[in-house]
Amino acid sequence: MVSNVEKILEKSSFSRDDLIYCLQTEGNEKQRLFDQAQKIKARFVGRKVYFRGLIEYSNICSKNCYYCGIRAGNKRYIRYRMTNSEVMEASNYAFMNNYASIVIQAGEQTNKAHVTRIESLLKKIHRKTNGKLHVTLSLGEQSEETYRRWYEAGAHRYLLRIEVSSPELYLRLHPGDHHHEYTKRLESLKILRETGYQVGTGVMIGLPFQTIANLADDLIFFREFDIDMAGMGPYIEHQDTPLYQHKGLLLPLKERFQLSLKMVALLRIMMKDINIAATTAMQTIDPQGREKALMVGANVIMPNLTPVKYRQDYLLYENKPCIGEEAATCMNCLEARIYIAGDVIGYGEWGDSRHFKKRTKVTL
Ligand code: SAH
Ligand code: SF4
């Protein structure tokens, strides 16, 4: 007998109901989905993993997202900002180790000094590496001018998660003020695209109040927005956040993890040539979480290059892994894990989203 998943996989485009069905598969049907995603990954982007060295530049944030550990209202952490020389050291580590790419991430700040500091760091990194080290930014919502200045200073990719594609759910997860508007988030994604960035977005999976239909809609959102890159991971509660009070509504961690794998697999099947990250949040739940994500369609990993002294203060969620490990230790263990998962590492390659190249028809 042909399973329902089999019939769905034959279609050239999935409907919302197809996605809802697939997100609830278990056993053989779920495995079939995973196998298909693996096949598509091999065929369209190859079994290659690209490294993006992650630099958690600062935990200073002006926002108060209800789910996030470094929200402005949480007084538990010592607020820090990496010095220019620390950023240059981490970039240099990435460059010398052939990562070819870094991600600079931080809490959201829009003040002039911050914008200028990032701009000059970008120029410095560009100069020091002869433009060979690609830079992705993940610095939240900014003005059109700021996005443009950073682009012109050398950043070419930007990660800004929509977090949830449902405006109603967005409102339940953020304060209802003008700093946290769904429409602004969406607008920012559009501006990033118009500025010329490769645009990455994503969602958290297994949030309180979130339904399977919401997740299906998230996948449709990615397809309609025609994204270049995705970073999705399980929501992990943090006790110093307002959302923690709804802990009782959460799926067990293992189920959130499985749901995340299904989201990765489905997105790979739907959007064959985009870049998909195997996120740290997946490793938080399962020590082999990132490798498992690589086996169902992900093709990007972000080894942490943040100086160890800052890591315990950049806890977006609890139990974040590797907070005591230096970059080199992380690197050795990662390399082995990737080979075990059956992939090879694209050392020295930018690993730009093939989808982006096709979309813009330019050779980078
Ligand atoms: N301030 C920037 C970048 C840092 S936050 C921004 O918000 O875009 C990066 C991501 O961490 C967020 O997009 C969110 O999806 C994720 N995150 C925050 N809190 C989390 C939690 N409790 N569990 C899982 N992911 C979380
Ligand atoms: Fe700040 Fe980003 Fe956390 Fe929101 S998710 S509180 S913007 S760091």
Which residue from 54, 62, 66, 71 has its CB within 8 A of the most atoms of ligand 2, so it is best to mutate?
71
CATH architecture of 4-363: Alpha-Beta Barrel (3.20)
SS3 percent helix, strand, coil of the chain, rounded to 5, is 45, 15, 40
At residue 2, the pLDDT reads 66
Residue 327 tokens, joined: 């970059």
**C-alpha count within 13 angstroms, C-beta hemisphere, residue 224:** 10
Which amino acid appears at position 192 of this protein? Answer: L
Residue pair 186/240 in contact (Cβ under 8 Å)? The answer is: no
Pocket test for ligand 1, best of 108, 201, 204 (most atoms within 8 A of CB): 204
Q: What is the mean pLDDT of residues 165-188?
A: 97
What torsion do the CA atoms of 127, 131, 133, 134 make, to the nearest 10 degrees?
A: 120
**φ and ψ at residue 171, rounded to 5 degrees:** -65, -30
Q: Which two tokens stand for residue 251?
A: 């799926």
What is the rounded distance in angstroms from the CA atom of residue 151 to the CA atom of residue 149? 5
Is residue 255 within 8 Å of residue 249, measured between CB atoms?
no
By alpha-carbon position, which residue is closest to atom 5 of ligand 2?
68
List pLDDT tens digits, range 235-283.
999 999 999 999 999 999 999 999 999 999 999 999 999 999 999 999 9
**Which of these, 283, 244, 240, lies nearest to 260 by C-alpha position?**
283
CA 137 to ligand 2 center in whole angstroms: 14
For 44-70, what is the mean pLDDT?
96
In a 3-state reduction of DSSP, which class is residue 231?
strand
Q: Is the CB of 138 under 6 A from ligand 1?
A: yes
Domain boundaries defined on the chain: 4-363
Q: What is the pTM of this model?
A: 0.95
What's the pLDDT tens digit per position in 110-147?
A: 999 999 999 999 999 999 999 999 999 999 999 999 99
